[in-house]
Amino acid sequence: MALLAGRTVLLRAGVRLGAEAATRGGNGARRFASHRVLVEPDAAAGIATIKLKNPPVNSLSLEFLTELIICLEKLENDKTFRGIILTSDCPGIFSAGLDLREMCGKNPAHYAEYWRAVQEIWLKLYLSNMVLVAAINGASPAGGCLMALTCDYRVLADNPRYRIGLNETLLGIIAPFWFKDNLVNTIGHRAADRALQLGLLFPPTEALQVGMVDQVVPEDQIHSTALSVMSQWLAIPDHARQLTKSMMRKATADHLIKQREADIQNFVSFISKDSIQKSLQVYLEKLKQKKH
């Protein structure tokens, strides 16, 4: 199927990227149909722009994560593409992180399924052979920040409301070791120690200072900057860049891969605790009441 620049399109006959939501059919198999992951391919440039579109805040629900995983798999296997720009279609929000409703009031089997999907998206992004540039055009707490941290380069729009960081402690929860590893690899141990313990959400100037992002630009220049960064990275021969990326990241990814099941069990038992459920419910309630 032909790829059209600048449009959300069919990538392969009969399969619509950005049009897939997991639902259970009668036989329990997954079916896909909805529109949360928009893909704008530029085949000539070898770049696909992924726009996250799960309003209002791009929270990472199981369905949304499933779509994103499938989308990344398709792009990864399509030799047309060498780079992805990851950005948001929701005004002012890159991603609010993990969907708190997936972690509240559900059963252990659901928590385990959800956590496997969270691990999977991280592994897919972190180990991608493609160049990943995050064009962060909104607030990016916790899991939203994590997605940006998996990218090879981060451009943040200059707006004091667009704070980024791993704020888990503010919710009474603990960033898993692989969130921590990814952060340490990005900003160093001392800065990560402070940021994680205090649950810091950095506004753009501070995010740049601490190394959480690589560049801060006016909002209207975010996409053009991401494109120009991308062309710089794509100028490097793929095999050399990919092997170097793997050399830099493999140990961190293997750390999770080796203990994936144990990490799921840890998550399930932690999140199922009454005290943690209570904290998350209080936090969600506060978010809801903020408006009133």
Ligand X SMILES: CC/C=C\C/C=C/C(=O)SCCNC(=O)CCNC(=O)[C@H](O)C(C)(C)COP(=O)(O)OP(=O)(O)OC[C@H]1O[C@@H](n2cnc3c(N)ncnc32)[C@H](O)[C@@H]1OP(=O)(O)O
**Cross-strand pairs, 51:** 38, 87
The answer to whether 99 touches 120, Cβ cutoff 8 Å, is: no
CA of residue 191 relative to chain centroid, distance: 21
Of the candidates 137, 168, 182, 256, the residue annotated as catalytic is 168
As a whole number of angstroms, the distance between CA 83 and CA 253 comes to: 20
As a whole number of angstroms, the distance between CA 74 and CA 11 comes to: 8
Of the candidates 65, 75, 86, 98, the residue annotated as catalytic is 98
- For helices 238-258 and 260-272, angle between their N-to-C axes, nearest 10 degrees: 50
Q: Which residue in 176, 184, 186, 249 binds ligand X (CB under 6 A)? A: 176
Report the residue number, 91 or 237, with the smaller CB distance to ligand X. Answer: 91
98 carries an active-site annotation: yes
As a whole number of angstroms, the distance between CA 192 and CA 189 comes to: 5
Whats the size of the chain, residue-wise? 292
Residue 177 interacting with ligand X (CB under 6 A) = no
Residue 287 interacting with ligand X (CB under 6 A) = yes
Residue with nearest beta carbon to ligand X: 97
Q: Indicate the residue type of 177.
A: F
Residues 114-173 that bind ligand X (CB under 6 A): 139, 141-143, 167-168, 171, 173
167 carries an active-site annotation: yes
159 carries an active-site annotation: no
Of the candidates 20, 167, 201, 280, the residue annotated as catalytic is 167
Report the residue number, 5 or 56, with the smaller CB distance to ligand X. Answer: 56
Residue 292 interacting with ligand X (CB under 6 A) = no
As a whole number of angstroms, the distance between CA 278 and CA 58 comes to: 23
The answer to whether 215 touches 208, Cβ cutoff 8 Å, is: yes
Residue 97 interacting with ligand X (CB under 6 A) = yes
219 carries an active-site annotation: no
Residue 181 interacting with ligand X (CB under 6 A) = no
Q: Which residue in 42, 63, 99, 263 binds ligand X (CB under 6 A)? A: 99
Min dist CB 60 to ligand X, Å, is: 7
Residue given tokens 């440039």 in the structure block: 45
As a whole number of angstroms, the distance between CA 183 and CA 142 comes to: 11
Catalog residues that contact ligand X under the rule CB under 6 A. 56-57, 59, 93, 96-101, 139, 141-143, 167-168, 171, 173-176, 267, 270-271, 284, 287-288, 290-291
Residues marked active site are found at 98, 143, 167-168
